[in-house]
Amino acid sequence: MTARRWPWQTWSASLATRSREWALKRQGSDKHGTELHARRIYILPTRIGFVYATVVLVLLLGSMNYSNNMGFALTFLLTGIGIVCMHHCQRNLSGLRVNFLDSESDFAGQHVSFRLQLDNPGKQTRWQLRTGWDRLDGQFADLHEARCTTIGLSLKAARRGRLPMPRVAITSDFPLGLFRAWSWIHMDSSAIVWPAPSDQADAPPVTGTDDVSGHSIVDGGDELSGVREYRASDSPRRIDWKALARYGELLVREFRDGSCSECWLDWDALEQGDAEQRLSILTRLALDANANDRTFGLKLPDCTVAPGSGETHLNECLNRLALFGHVDADVAEEPG
Amino acid sequence: MHLRQEFWRMAWLISAVLVVALPHFQYVAPWVAVLVIAIAVWRLAAAERGWPMPRTALRVTAVFLGYSGIMWSYHRVSGVEAGSALLLVMLAFKLMETRSRRDRALVAIICFVLMFATFLREQTIWSPAYLLVGITLSVCALMQVGRFQTRMPVMVAGKTTLKLVVQALPLMAMLFVLFPRVPGPFWAMPVDSGTAQTGLGDSVSPGDITELGRSDAIAFRVRFDGTVPEPAERYWRGPVFGYFNGRSWSGRIPGPGPEDTSVLRKDGSSYSYEITMEPHGRRWLLALETPLSWDQKDASYGPDWQLISRKPVGERFAYRARSVVNGTIPGNDSQRYLQAMRHLPANVNPRTRMLARQLRGSSRDDVTYLRSVLNMFREQEFYYTLTPPRLDDSPVDEFLFETREGFCEHYASAFATLARAAGIPSRVVTGYLGAERNPVGDYWVVRQSDAHAWTEVWIDGDWRRYDPTAAVSPARIEGGLDFAIPDAGRSPVTLLRRSALFGQLALNMDAVNAAWDRWVLSFGPDTQMALLARLGISKPSMRDLMIATLISCGLFLAALSWMLTRRQPEHVDAVLRLYRLYCRRLARSFRVPLHSEGPTDYASAAVAARPDLGSDIHSITNLYLQLRYEITGKTDDPRLLAELRRRIRAFRP
C-alpha cells in the first residue's frame, strides 16, 4: 500500500527536479572545490520566519490603532532585526570554501563515504553550518575564524561501479532561524563501489592450471598447511569445526597449494553465473586470498593485474572488478 | 552534556520570558504572576534534572483552567488587561510543552507581543531602555533555541545579538520617521483606567470629598512665546458646571460651541503658547482663560467658550493657541440658560439664602454684594485645607456656618450659591491654576495638583471671573498649592520636590521627560509632516513617504550588505602565495591538504599516492620549509625564494 500523494506533493516534487536542473545549469560543475559566492547562495524565509512576519504585521496594526509610539518603535526594531538577520544568514555562508577531500570505497550494498573540507577563510565565525545531501538534514558544524573542518557524508551504494557524488547542500539558518540560506554544490567527484562479495562460501574451486603462466590457482589448494585464528573475512567452510568442538577455539584450516605461492583469479575459469555473479565471486576470492596473505593475480576479459599482495594490490584488483565493463576503467587516474 | 545545553537554552528563554512578564506583574491578578513564576522555575529545574514534561491530558486541563481563571478574574478575555493576563498564562503553559524548536521560537515571539502590551499601559522615558533589554534577551533566546549540539558561549551569544540589534537600530529610526503615519484608531479602543487620570472630574460636589488626592502627575506642559502670564493670570479653563442640585454641580453636555465670535472681548493681556497635553481620555483641551485661535483642526469652542476636542484625548499631543486673559467670558447665552444659572433647589441650604438676603439688602448693587461676600471669607475664620470634614444634607449651610474648612471647590460652591441666592446667575468653573517653571527645558509644568475651581458670575452681560479661594488663601493663587498649606500637611514627595538638590534633579529629569514626550511620544501624523517640512519635504503624499522609506532603507541595507560581505584583507606573503598555488596544482591530481596536515605530512601522503611526482614534491616542500621556518636560517634568502618560484611554476602534474 503506497501512501497517497496529494497533487501539491507531485507539484513540489516536479518543482524540486526543475530547480535542481536549473541550479546545476546555472552554476555549472564545481570540479573538486569551490567558494560560495553571493550569487549561488539561495535564501528563503522559514516557517518560523513567516510567523515572525505575521506577528510584526499585527504589532504594526496595533501600534497604528493605539497610536502608540513605543509600539511603533518595537515593531520597527523587529522589522529591522528581521531584515538584518537575512543579511547575516546569507553572510554566514558567503565566502565559505568547500573542497572535496576523498571518498572511501566500499562494497555494493554498504555505505560509501565522501569527505569534504569546509574552510573558513574569513574572520567571522560561521555558525550552524549544516552539510548534507539535502537541505533539511546533514551534519552540523561551527567554523571559527580561519579554521577548516572535515565532513564525512555517507551514501548507500546500490550497485558496483563508479558512484558519482550527488550534489551537496550547505545550509544555515543562523542567526535567528527566520531565514534559511543554502547553496548547492555539484562536485565532479565519485567513489568506486566494489562488487558485493559473494556469500556463496561453497563457490566451486576454480582452477587456472591451464593458465598461460602455468600456475594453479585459487581458494584453498588441496593440501592442508595448518590452522590459524579466525579472521572476519574467512569463509565459514574453512572453520575447523572439530577443533572448535574439542578445544572451544575458533580456528581456520589453511590450505596451501604445494606447487606454487602464486595463484590467479580467473574470470574464464568461472563457468556459471552472469557477469555480475562472476565479479561477485571473484571479489570474494580476492578478499579471501588477501586474508590468507596469498599472492594472487586477476584476469578479466579486458585486463590483467599481475600477481601481488597487500592492501594496495587488493584495492587495485577490487577497483578493476568494480569498473569492469565501464568505459573509464582507468583506475590509476582516480584521485585518492 | 546534552542536559547542560538543554538547561542553557531554557535559561535564555526563561529569562526573556521573565523580563517581559515583569512589568505586567503589577497589573495582573496576583495568581497569574505566581503561576508564571512557578512554571518558569519548575521548567528550569526540569531542564536541569531532565524531568519529563507533563502529559497532554494534564496540559489541556491546565489550559482550560487557565482560561477559566482569566474569565473568573476579568470576566472577559479582550482588552489590554485581560488580554495580557491571558497571554501570560498561555505563555506559561507553552513553556511546559517546549520540546521542539518551533515551540520555543514561538515562546520568544510571544515575548515581543507581551512587550507591546506593556507599552500600551505605559510609555516612560525608561521604555526605550526596557525595549532594548527585552528585545535583546528575546532575540538571544530565539537564537539559542536554534542551537543544535554545542552551547554558544554567553559572551559570544550576547555580542552576536547586540550586533543584530545595533544594526537594526538605524532601520528602526528611518521607519519611525518616514513610515506613513495614519491617524488612528481603526477600531474602538478600550480606555484604561490608568490613562484617564485627571484632577478634573465630571461634577463638583465638595461635601463628598474628605481628602483631596494630590497627584504630582503632569497634566500638561506649556511653552510660552514671549511674555509669561502673571501667577494670578494663569487660569487654565476646563469644564464649566452650572447645574446645581443643592449638593453637587454638573455641567452641560459638550455640544457645538457659540459661532458668533464677534462678542469676544480682545482687550487685556494676550499670550501665545504651546501645550503638550497628557492623555486623559476626555474631550476638553485646556487653554488660558479665553482662547482666540489655535492650530488644531479637531479643536473647537465648547458651549462655554472652552477649547474642546472632537475626539477624546487618548494620546499625548501638542497644540498651539493664543488666549486673552481679562477675567471675563463673553455672555451670549440664552435667557433659559441664565434662568437655570439662577436656580437653587428649594429647602436646601436655607441659612445661606437668609445670609444672602441680608447681605444683598445692605449692598448697593451686585458687584458690591459680591465684594462683601468675599470680604466675609477674608475677614471671618475660614480656613483652607485639603482634608475638610464631611458635609451632610445642606452642605453649603454647614460649610458657611459650622465647619468653615475647605478647599477651592467648597469656596467656589458656596460663593456661587450665595450669588444665586441673591438672584445673580453664577456657575462653578474647574481647570488648573498655576504653572511651575522648569528652567532646564525653559517650559512650564502644570500638574494634577494644580487643579482648581472658581466661579463665574453674570455681571453686565458678561461672565466675570471671581475666585473666592483667593480671598481665603491668597498664597494658593500666587504660589500654588504647595504654599497654601503648612508643611505638616504636605506629602513627603512634595517636600522632597522642594528640597534644593532633589528639586534640581527633578527639574532636569522632567526636562528630559518633556523632550521625550514632545519629540518621541507625541510623534504622529502632524509632527511627522512638520518634521519633514523642516527637512525640506513639504506635504508629502503617502506614496511619497512609502517610496522615501523604501529608498532610505534600501540604501542602508546596501551599505550594510557591503560591510558584511566585504572580504577581509588577508595578509599573504609571497612564500605563502606560492605554496598555495602548489597546493592547488597538486589538488588536481591528489587533494587539498587536510587541516590537520602540515606540509610534511601532506607531502608524504601525496608521494604515497603519486610516486611519480615524488622528487618535485620533496624539493618544493623542502624549499618551503626552509623559507617558512628557522631551520637553516635562510628564511629571507632571495635565491631560495626564486628557486621555489621557478619550481612551483614548472610544477604541473
Round to whole Å and give the CA distance between B208 and B486. Answer: 23
Cβ distance B594 to A117 less than 8 Å, yes or no, reads yes
% of chain A with per-residue pLDDT over 90: 13
Round to whole Å and give the CA distance between A285 and B450. Answer: 106
Nearest to B561 among A32, A64, A87 (CB): A87
Cβ of residue A94 closer than 8 Å to a chain B Cβ = yes
Least confident of A237-241, B81-85, B366-370, B578-582: A237-241
Which runs of E-coded beta strand occur in B180-316? 203-204, 218-225, 235-244, 249-251, 269-277, 287-288, 290-294, 299-301, 307-309
Tell me whether residue B616 is one of the annotated catalytic residues: no
pLDDT of the residue at B208: 66
Cβ of residue B149 closer than 8 Å to a chain A Cβ = yes
Q: A213 falls in which pLDDT band (50, 70, 90)?
A: very low
Taking CA atoms, B401 is separated from B211, B352, B383, in Å, by 21, 9, 13
pLDDT of the residue at A332: 38
The residue of chain A nearest to residue B152, with distances taken between CA atoms, is A127
pLDDT tops 80 at residue B259: no
Choose from A40, A61, A84 for mutation: most chain B CBs within 10 A: A84
Tens digit of each residue's pLDDT (9 = 90 or more) over B434-449:
888 777 667 888 887 7
| Residue among B99, B117, B92 at smallest CA distance from B42 | B92
| Residue among B537, B512, B546, B542 at smallest CA distance from B525 | B542
Mean of pLDDT values over B534-557? 85
pLDDT tops 60 at residue B498: no
Catalytic residue from among B111, B452, B462, B616: B452
Mean of pLDDT values over A123-132? 87
pLDDT tops 90 at residue B116: yes
- Residues 163-192 of chain A with CB under 8 A from chain B are 173-177
Residues of A in contact with B570 (CB under 8 A): 121
The residue of chain B nearest to residue A151, with distances taken between CA atoms, is B594
Q: Sheet containing A126-132: give its strands across.
A: A42-45, A179-185, A168-172, A126-132, A139-143
Round to whole Å and give the CA distance between A252 and A229. Answer: 6
β pairing state of A295-300 and B218-225: unpaired
Cβ distance B587 to A175 less than 8 Å, yes or no, reads no
Cβ distance B148 to A68 less than 8 Å, yes or no, reads no
Nearest to A81 among B139, B152, B564 (CB): B139
Tens digit of each residue's pLDDT (9 = 90 or more) over B94-111:
888 767 888 889 999 999
Tell me whether residue B280 is one of the annotated catalytic residues: no
On average, the pLDDT of chain A sits at: 79
Choose from B182, B591, B601 for mutation: most chain A CBs within 10 A: B591
CB of B99 within 8 A of CB of B5?
A: no
Residues of B in contact with A140 (CB under 8 A): 148-149
Contact residues for A23 (Cβ-Cβ < 8 A; gap 6+): A167, A184
Residue intervals of chain A classified under CATH 2.60.40.10 are 18-194
Catalytic residue from among B304, B408, B517, B616: B408
For chain A, the maximum distance between any two Cα atoms, rounded to a whole number of angstroms, is: 101
Burial B330-367 (b: 16+ CB within 10 A, else e): bbebeeeeeebbeebeeebbeebbebbeebbeebeebe
More confident residue, B385 or A330: B385
Cβ of residue A87 closer than 8 Å to a chain B Cβ = yes
| Residue among A133, A267, A108, A265 at smallest CA distance from A192 | A108
pLDDT of the residue at A224: 59
Q: A231 falls in which pLDDT band (50, 70, 90)?
A: low
Nearest 5°: the CA angle A147, B579, B638 is 130
| Residue among A47, A124, A62 at smallest CA distance from A87 | A124
Round to whole Å and give the CA distance between B76 and B81. Answer: 10
| One-letter amino acid for residue B481 of the chain | L
Cβ of residue B182 closer than 8 Å to a chain A Cβ = yes
pLDDT of the residue at A47: 92
Nearest to B150 among A71, A142, A335 (CB): A142
Residues of A in contact with B609 (CB under 8 A): 335-336
pLDDT of the residue at B3: 65
**Cell numbers that stand for B522 in this block:** 507625541
Round to whole Å and give the CA distance between B522 and B282. Answer: 17
Q: A256 falls in which pLDDT band (50, 70, 90)?
A: low
Round to whole Å and give the CA distance between B370 and B363. Answer: 9
| Residue among B209, B208, B214 at smallest CA distance from B451 | B214
**Cell numbers that stand for A223 in this block:** 593440501
Residues of A in contact with B107 (CB under 8 A): none
pLDDT of the residue at B138: 93
User: Nearest CA of chain B to the CA of A106: how many Å?
Assistant: 19
Residue written as grid cell 550576547: B158
pLDDT tops 70 at residue B126: yes
pLDDT of the residue at A336: 33
Tens digit of each residue's pLDDT (9 = 90 or more) over B578-624:
888 888 888 877 887 876 777 888 888 888 888 888 888 888 888 88
User: Nearest CA of chain B to the CA of A132: how many Å?
Assistant: 15
CB of B204 within 8 A of CB of B412?
A: yes
Cβ distance B150 to A48 less than 8 Å, yes or no, reads no
Which runs of E-coded beta strand occur in B245-371? 249-251, 269-277, 287-288, 290-294, 299-301, 307-309, 317-325, 328-330
Q: Length of chain A, please?
A: 336
Cβ distance A76 to B176 less than 8 Å, yes or no, reads yes
pLDDT of the residue at B508: 75
pLDDT of the residue at A85: 93
Contact residues for B485 (Cβ-Cβ < 8 A; gap 6+): B384, B385, B386
**Any long-range contacts for A205-214 (C-beta under 8 Å, 24+ apart)?**
A206/A265, A206/A266, A206/A269, A206/A270, A206/A285, A207/A269, A208/A263, A208/A264, A208/A265, A208/A266, A208/A269, A208/A299, A211/A264, A211/A266, A211/A299, A213/A262, A213/A264
Cβ distance B594 to A101 less than 8 Å, yes or no, reads yes
pLDDT tops 50 at residue A212: no
pLDDT tops 80 at residue B89: yes
Q: Is the peptide bond between B593 and the residue preceding it cis, with omega within 30 degrees of 0?
A: no
All structural domains of chain B with their residue ranges: 2-152, 203-496, 574-650
Residues of A in contact with B546 (CB under 8 A): none
pTM: 0.66
Round to whole Å and give the CA distance between B226 and B234. Answer: 15
Residues of A in contact with B653 (CB under 8 A): none
Q: B481 falls in which pLDDT band (50, 70, 90)?
A: low
- DSSP 3-state of B212: coil
Cβ distance A67 to B314 less than 8 Å, yes or no, reads yes
Choose from B104, B110, B119, B163 for mutation: most chain A CBs within 10 A: B119
pLDDT of the residue at A325: 77
- Residues 268-327 of chain A with CB under 8 A from chain B are none
User: Nearest CA of chain B to the CA of A54: how many Å?
Assistant: 10
pLDDT of the residue at B171: 93
Tens digit of each residue's pLDDT (9 = 90 or more) over A28-62:
777 777 888 888 899 999 999 999 999 999 999 98
Tens digit of each residue's pLDDT (9 = 90 or more) over B352-409:
888 898 888 888 888 899 999 988 888 888 888 777 788 877 888 888 888 888 888 8
Choose from B140, B144, B145, B171 for mutation: most chain A CBs within 10 A: B171
Q: A270 falls in which pLDDT band (50, 70, 90)?
A: confident
| Residue among B24, B20, B221 at smallest CA distance from B122 | B24
Specify burial of residue B95 (Cβ count, 10 A radius: 0-12, 13-18, 19+): buried
Round to whole Å and give the CA distance between B271 and B435. Answer: 14
Residues of B in contact with A114 (CB under 8 A): none
β-bridge mates for residue B306, sequence order: none
Least confident of A104-118, B172-186, B196-210, B224-238: B196-210
% of chain A with per-residue pLDDT over 70: 82
Task: Report the complex ipTM.
Answer: 0.75
Cβ distance B148 to A117 less than 8 Å, yes or no, reads no
Residues of A in contact with B127 (CB under 8 A): 70
Q: Is the peptide bond between A175 and the residue preceding it cis, with omega within 30 degrees of 0?
A: yes
Tens digit of each residue's pLDDT (9 = 90 or more) over A72-115:
999 999 999 999 999 999 988 888 888 888 888 888 888 888 98
Cβ distance A87 to B113 less than 8 Å, yes or no, reads no
Round to whole Å and give the CA distance between A174 and B144. Answer: 10
Q: A217 falls in which pLDDT band (50, 70, 90)?
A: very low
Cβ of residue A114 closer than 8 Å to a chain B Cβ = no
Tell me whether residue B408 is one of the annotated catalytic residues: yes
CB of A77 within 8 A of CB of B168?
A: yes
* Range A18-194 classified under CATH 2.60.40.10: yes
pLDDT tops 90 at residue B113: yes
Nearest to B567 among A67, A73, A95 (CB): A95
Round to whole Å and give the CA distance between B584 and B582. Answer: 5
Contact residues for A193 (Cβ-Cβ < 8 A; gap 6+): A105, A106, A107, A108, A112, A157, A159, A160, A161, A162, A163, A322
Cβ distance B587 to A99 less than 8 Å, yes or no, reads yes
pLDDT tops 80 at residue A232: no
β-bridge mates for residue B272, sequence order: B225, B322
Round to whole Å and give the CA distance between A166 and A327. Answer: 20
Tens digit of each residue's pLDDT (9 = 90 or more) over B142-187:
988 887 766 778 888 889 999 999 999 999 999 998 888 877 666 6
Round to whole Å and give the CA distance between B95 and B28. Answer: 19
More confident residue, B50 or B422: B422
More confident residue, A3 or B285: B285
CB of B207 within 8 A of CB of B400?
A: no
